[in-house]
Amino acid sequence: MSCWVGCPREGCDGDLRIRVGGTPGTPNVWYLPNGDPGYPGDPPEVWVEEVLEASCGHEFSDAELEALADDEWEILAEHLADALEAAEDRYWEDRFEAWRDQQRGIV
């Protein structure tokens, strides 16, 4: 997934189109089925994989990309969550259409 963010360099008004990766995390499990205590979930993770386009022309080191992910975490996580939700919606729509076509004998 890619998204646009502001350039993190001091005094730069440029924008970056970056490729973002991440995981949505997992929820807490309070209790196991046998009644034993559960375990904490994993937090979501977001990282910047690469800069696809920089309107300001700057190049960025891995450390700068990591800092960018830390600074823009909430925005990147929101973009990633939206992309994952859209992908899941497309998956279930495709599954429904395949089922509907099978029911109609189109397949």
**For residue range 38-93, what is the model confidence (pLDDT) as tens digits?**
999 888 788 888 888 888 888 888 888 888 777 776 777 777 777 777 778 888 88
> CB of 79 within 8 A of CB of 3?
yes
Select from 87, 77, 76, 79 the least CA-distant residue to 24. 77
Select from 12, 17, 11 the least CA-distant residue to 48. 17
- Spatial separation of the C-alpha atoms in residues 24 and 41, rounded to whole Å: 11
Instruction: State pLDDT tens for residues 12-45.
Output: 888 888 888 888 778 899 999 999 999 998 887 8
Domain that holds residue 67: 2-104
How many structural domains comprise the chain? 1
Q: What is the pTM of this model?
A: 0.52
- Spatial separation of the C-alpha atoms in residues 81 and 22, rounded to whole Å: 9
Per-residue pLDDT band at 107 (split at 50, 70, 90): low
The secondary structure element, H or E, covering residue 18 is strand 15-23
